[in-house]
């Protein structure tokens, strides 16, 4: 069984985001970058399935500039077998990612695709469902538990009303939620071993896709700053302000 995992290089979740002075986007120059947290969970799940001898091979794919190879090396150090890098100098949106992944999947023929449910920079949650639709595969999104047995995979999904379990015939696409697992830290020996693992390069021209964005960001602005709170002397004053100023009670 072959598993294909996707990862994205994003601004580290601990970094305070700064808007560019011209409002064209967020500042990425001289900013710490790391693997998207949801993708880390996807990598961990693939590695665990390999350790359980359910998977025989794991492959990681990422899109972006040359620096993306650092993120791929991190996935390799966590236990992934090999990597594929698709160089893209401009922004590639969910549709372009799905179209390119479809071509890679047709070549690699994996039995299971595991992706993070969303990237923390775009928060669109679109690439996984788009890919499943293009392939005609079943999909299990927002997975908090994954069980592979025989020719199917059971996915426990986090939904508004609680949990939902679906069973999908393989091949299938699964997108991971935060509670699926706790990603491991790559050990120093594995980091050294990862330097020798292969990273294959596939260009968008080879894949026959156009990664040009379909949407254009017109302007990015910070949310309005919250005003400071006030203290009231008694409950009567609080009720009066809630009724007459905030108008949240009749």
Per-residue pLDDT of 30-60, as tens digits, reads 889 999 999 999 999 999 999 999 999 999 9
Residue 129 has pLDDT above 90, yes or no: yes
pLDDT at 91 over 90: no
Would residue 237 count as lying in a domain? no
pTM score of the predicted model: 0.86
**DSSP state at residue 51:** H
- Residue 230 belongs to some domain of the structure: no
- Residue 27: predicted pLDDT: 87
Q: Is residue 233 part of a domain?
A: no
- Encode pLDDT of 174-186 as tens digits: 999 999 999 999 8
Q: The domain that contains 177 carries what CATH number?
A: 3.40.50.620
Q: Rounded CA gap, 197 and 4, in Å? A: 16
Please report the pLDDT score of residue 108 as a whole number: 96
Residue 203 has pLDDT above 90, yes or no: yes
Name the average pLDDT for the chain.
Answer: 93
Within a domain: 112: yes
Q: What's the pLDDT band for 86 if we cut at 50, 70, 90?
A: very high
pLDDT band for 216, please (50, 70, 90 cuts): confident
Number of domains in the chain: 1
pLDDT in tens, 218-241: 898 888 888 888 899 999 999 999
Q: What is the 3-state secondary structure (H, E, C) of 99-155?
A: HHHHHHHHHHCCCEEEEECCCCCCCCCCHHHHHHHHHCCEEEEEEEEEEEECCEEEE
User: What residues contact residue 146 under an 8 Å CB cut-off, 6+ apart?
Assistant: 45, 49, 114, 140, 153, 154, 155, 156, 174, 180
Q: Is residue 246 part of a domain?
A: no
What is residue 141's predicted lDDT score, i.e. its pLDDT? 94
Task: Please give the residue range of the domain that contains residue 60.
Answer: 2-222
pLDDT on residue 28: 84
Within-domain flag for 142 = yes
pLDDT score for 230: 87
Check whether 126 has a pLDDT greater than 90: yes
Residue 85's pLDDT is 97
Asked whether residue 229 is assigned to any structural domain, the reply reads no
In a domain, 92, yes or no: yes
Q: How many helices (H) and strands (E) does the chain have?
A: 7, 11
What distance in Å separates the CA atoms of residue 91 and residue 69, rounded to the nearest whole number?
17
Residue 56: count of CB within 10 angstroms of its CB: 12
Query: Is pLDDT of 6 > 90?
Result: yes
């Amino acid at each position: 069984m072959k598993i294909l995992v996707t990862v994205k290089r994003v601004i580290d979740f601990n970094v305070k985001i700064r808007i560019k002075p011209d409002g064209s986007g967020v500042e990425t120059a001289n900013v710490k970058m790391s693997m998207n947290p949801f993708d880390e969970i996807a990598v961990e799940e693939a590695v665990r399935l390999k350790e359980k001898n359910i998977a025989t091979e794991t492959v990681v794919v990422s899109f972006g500039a040359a620096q993306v190879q650092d993120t791929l090396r991190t996935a390799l150090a966590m236990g992934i077998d090999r990597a594929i890098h698709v160089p893209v100098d401009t922004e590639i949106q969910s549709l372009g990612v799905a179209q390119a992944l479809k071509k890679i999947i047709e070549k690699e023929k994996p039995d299971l695709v595991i992706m993070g449910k969303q990237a923390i920079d775009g928060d669109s949650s679109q690439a996984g469902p788009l890919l499943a639709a293009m392939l005609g595969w079943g999909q299990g999104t927002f997975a908090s538990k994954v069980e592979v047995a025989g020719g199917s995979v059971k996915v426990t999904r986090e939904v508004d009303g609680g949990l939902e379990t679906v069973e999908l015939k393989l091949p299938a696409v699964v997108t991971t939620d935060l509670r699926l697992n706790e990603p491991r830290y790559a050990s120093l020996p594995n980091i050294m071993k990862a330097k020798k693992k292969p990273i294959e390069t596939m260009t968008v021209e080879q894949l026959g896709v156009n990664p040009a964005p379909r949407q254009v960001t017109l302007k990015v602005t910070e949310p309005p700053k919250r005003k400071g709170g006030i203290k009231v002397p008694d409950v009567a004053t609080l009720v009066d302000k809630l009724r007459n100023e905030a108008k949240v009670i009749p």
